[in-house]
Amino acid sequence: MNYKLLDYYWIILDGSRIGFYNLLDAKYELLLKLDNKIIQNIFLALNQPFEFKDFPEKEQLIIRKILKQYHNYFEEITYEKLVEERLKHRRIDDFIETNHHAFSINIQGIKALLKETINNTSYCFITNSNLFNLDLFLGYSTKQINFDSLNLDTVDSVDTTFIVDSQSLTENQLADFEKYCVTHNVIRMYVKEDKESIVIGPTLIGEEFGCLFCGEQSTIHLYHIKGESTFTSLVNSLVFTELLKIGRKVISALIDDNTITKGKYMKISKYNLEAEEYEVNANVTCKLCDCVFN
């Protein structure tokens, strides 16, 4: 049989106490005084989705007792769900391995934050050319949608993070989308690839860095000849490395900004792979922001 800890909990060792931390209420729901290190470690192992045969027989007995006593915090899952959940946790572990130094909270806190982010964030890829390779992003909740099919009235603007293929949208579509984003505090990342270069970013957060029409430099996404986009594996993997970082709570918890797109963008030449980084800033004379806020 396979089990997982419910989506909104994380088990934390706090001194000599084991706590069931509620990710939504951001507080412990249950604290158990436990001095036995072996039992403590078993509790912590149950953060990962599991099947009984993952554990030695002695531990299986203890786990059965835990499941019986704290059944409100766990659910039985199918094998398919187990595989899916394991992938999510692998995403979290891989992310922590390379990014833990960018946070001021401890590893357990980062894991809790990432679990909440990966479970709650819906990544919406806006493109009229369907060139994102969503197979790469397994483990995340993703969808690819044509701009005309996107109904912004039904979007959960807090928990949706957008990745926009700017090349495939018209300037009017980008302007409509930006008006919505700056007024609804939306997180969106722009991506573009053409024959010569890849542009990854900027990631804009509501009006924090202005809109796509603000900075002169952001015009890189606007004033170009609209044509066929070509998304290579490089652009997809650059998007992949940014995905968890631009989740709403993660991006604000990063004390060391190790993103390549938060309030900035990177232009990479496809001839020699030389990369240049540019910052973007709100512009007080921006016509789009002016008509939205005044």
Say how many C-beta atoms besides its own lie within 10 A of residue 251's C-beta: 21
| Least spacing, CB of residue 124 vs Zn ion, in Å | 22
Kindly write out the interface string for residues 106-145 of this chain, putting x where it contacts Zn ion by CB under 5 A and - elsewhere. Answer: ----------------------------------------
| Least spacing, CB of residue 185 vs Zn ion, in Å | 15
Residues 212 and 174 sit within 8 Å (Cβ to Cβ) = yes
Which is nearer to Zn ion, 40 or 283 (by Cβ)? 283
| Least spacing, CB of residue 74 vs Zn ion, in Å | 48
| Least spacing, CB of residue 178 vs Zn ion, in Å | 7
Which is nearer to Zn ion, 77 or 286 (by Cβ)? 286
Kindly identify the residues of this chain, within the stretch 272-291, that bind Zn ion according to CB under 5 A.
Answer: 286, 288-289
Q: For residue 246, what are its two tokens? A: 């631009």
The reply to whether 175 sits near Zn ion by the rule CB under 5 A is: no
Q: Which residue's C-beta sits nearest to Zn ion?
A: 286
Kindly identify the residues of this chain, within the stretch 212-271, that bind Zn ion according to CB under 5 A.
Answer: 213-214
Which is nearer to Zn ion, 219 or 232 (by Cβ)? 219
**What Å distances lie between residue 108 and 6, 18, 23, 139, 173, CA to CA?**
17, 12, 12, 20, 42
| Least spacing, CB of residue 215 vs Zn ion, in Å | 8
Which is nearer to Zn ion, 113 or 280 (by Cβ)? 280
Terminal CA-CA length for the chain = 59
Which is nearer to Zn ion, 100 or 287 (by Cβ)? 287
| Least spacing, CB of residue 265 vs Zn ion, in Å | 15
Mutual angle of helices 57-69 and 37-45, in 10-degree steps: 70
CA angle 255, 212, 174 (to 5 degrees): 130
| Least spacing, CB of residue 177 vs Zn ion, in Å | 13
Which is nearer to Zn ion, 215 or 247 (by Cβ)? 215
Kindly identify the residues of this chain, within the stretch 192-211, that bind Zn ion according to CB under 5 A.
Answer: 210-211
What's the burial of 284, exposed, middle or buried (CB within 10 Å: 0-12/13-18/19+)?
Answer: exposed
**What Å distances lie between residue 56 and 51, 62, 63, 67, 162, CA to CA?**
11, 10, 10, 16, 44
Number of residues in contact with Zn ion under rule CB under 5 A: 7
Which is nearer to Zn ion, 106 or 185 (by Cβ)? 185
Among 289, 283, 126, residue whose Cα is nearest residue 217? 283
Which is nearer to Zn ion, 250 or 288 (by Cβ)? 288
| Least spacing, CB of residue 242 vs Zn ion, in Å | 22
Where along the sequence are the contacts to Zn ion (CB under 5 A)? 210-211, 213-214, 286, 288-289
